[in-house]
Amino acid sequence: MKKINLFLFALSLTVLASSCVKDQCKQELTYTNYTPVYLSYDLIRAEIKNEAPRALEHPGKIYFYQNYIFINEKEKGIHLIDNRDPNSPQPISFLPIMGNVDMAVKNNRMYADNYTDLVVLDISDLSQVRVVERQEDVFSLNGFDENGVIIRYDQEEVTEDIDCNYDPNMSWGRLNGGEFFSVDQAFPSGGFQTNNPTTGIVGGAPATGTGGSFARFSLYENYLYIVEQRVIRIFDINNPEQPNEQLSVRTGLNAETAYNYRDHLFIGGTNGMNIFDLSNPASPNHIGGYTHQTGCDPVAVHGNYAYVTIRQGRSCQGELDQLDVLDITDITAPVLEASFEMENPHGLSVTEEAVFLCEGEGGLKVFDNADPLTVGRNQLAHLDNFEAYDVINVPGQEDILLLIGADGFFQFDVSDPEQPREISHIPVITP
């Protein structure tokens, strides 16, 4: 009996030891730790008033309105520039708008994002711009808590020994040292979502401005459309100083840009383009679209053709660099007619004669648009001494091309598309 008891005791110790070993199983795991970065509401909602002109440091979107240029300083505000003489643009002032990325203008009212808020600015006197409306918490961004608004997440790669119950073949994340989560499942495009620094040609009356092809704000008649991930948010601006949000419309894709052409809204996304009929501008109606491989996707339209650039890269999650040309004669059934390999296509602008295409670090390329189905094979010019992000052909003055990029703001005379001529340049000056 004593032998049996000793055996059982030894067995129990073995089982207990085995259990302890299992409980203490460790493995080396590399994961991403996300630390939220906050900004207080007091700073976000600080007074917006004209300040002295600033140098361009990190320019984003450009916008043209009645011979004036507005240049976004990424998440800092807007540069106001008098462009009545394109040969000598004159800075007027700087508007400090925290978190600003997009803008749209109609009848001397500017609509701009201010991190979580939508602000309406009276710009009838550009030397004395004033806020006439602030709608708080319109944009969700990354969330908020008692510490303020989360404006971004700092990311740090960490390697340490942790429990064995995490598959090392998966991508793991950790929020501020808290619980682990699967990055692939939580964020299929990779990482936390941030305010998308991505404005298109906007339609309507002559008192409406014009933006570039990286559009998130767009205007048509008395409505403001804001693309936000998978929805089009619709604001009635019949009272221009009191935007009234209506029911939103789903885009049917992960939307990035909005381009208004005539009475249709073209939505570009990471996996395609969808078209909405604006016959009833209060309720855009999806009527057609097409799907492409994953990639960043600005859209421009002219006549019966839509031009779509697809770009790869870390933030775009794609593997293609190309220009697609679609026949939209039947607007409900776009047909992909031609694709042309590019280097790193960004924004674009299209006229009857030419396609002006930004190639990032590759500069600006100009293509003959006489036959849209062969456009990518008929290069007229290539300027590669600067970095190009987006372009605008000035309405009514299409011989003037506005260009923004990492090297600043440029204007070109493109009356001869084979020989674009620089007429002015406001350079980036890094402190």
Given a cut of 50, the residues of the chain with pLDDT beneath it are 1-22, 188-206, 315-316
Give me the pLDDT at residue 11, please: 43
| Secondary structure in 3-state letters for the chain | CHHHHHHHHHHHHHHHHHHHHHHCCEEEEEEEEEEEEEECHHHHCCCCCCECCCCECCEEEEEEECCEEEEEECCCEEEEEECCCCCCCEEEEEEECCCCCCEEEECCEEEEEECCEEEEEECCCCCCCEEEEEECCCCCCCCEECCEEEEEEEEEEEEEEEECCCCCCCCEEEECCCCEEEHHHHCCCCCCCCCCCCCCCCCCCCCECEECCCCCEEEECCEEEEEECCEEEEEECCCCCCCEECCCEECCCCEEEEEEECCEEEEEECCEEEEEECCCCCCCEEEEEEECCCCECCEEEECCEEEEEEECECCCCECCCEEEEEECCCCCCCEEEEEEECCCCCCEEECCCEEEEECECCCEEEEECCCHHHHHHCEEEEECCCCECEEEECCCCCCEEEEEECCEEEEEECCCCCCCEEEEEEEECCC
Give me the pLDDT at residue 193, please: 38
Write out pLDDT tens, residues 83-141: 999 999 999 999 999 999 999 999 999 999 999 999 999 999 999 999 999 999 998 77
Give me the pLDDT at residue 109, please: 97
Give me the pLDDT at residue 10, please: 45
Give me the pLDDT at residue 23, please: 54
Give me the pLDDT at residue 304, please: 96
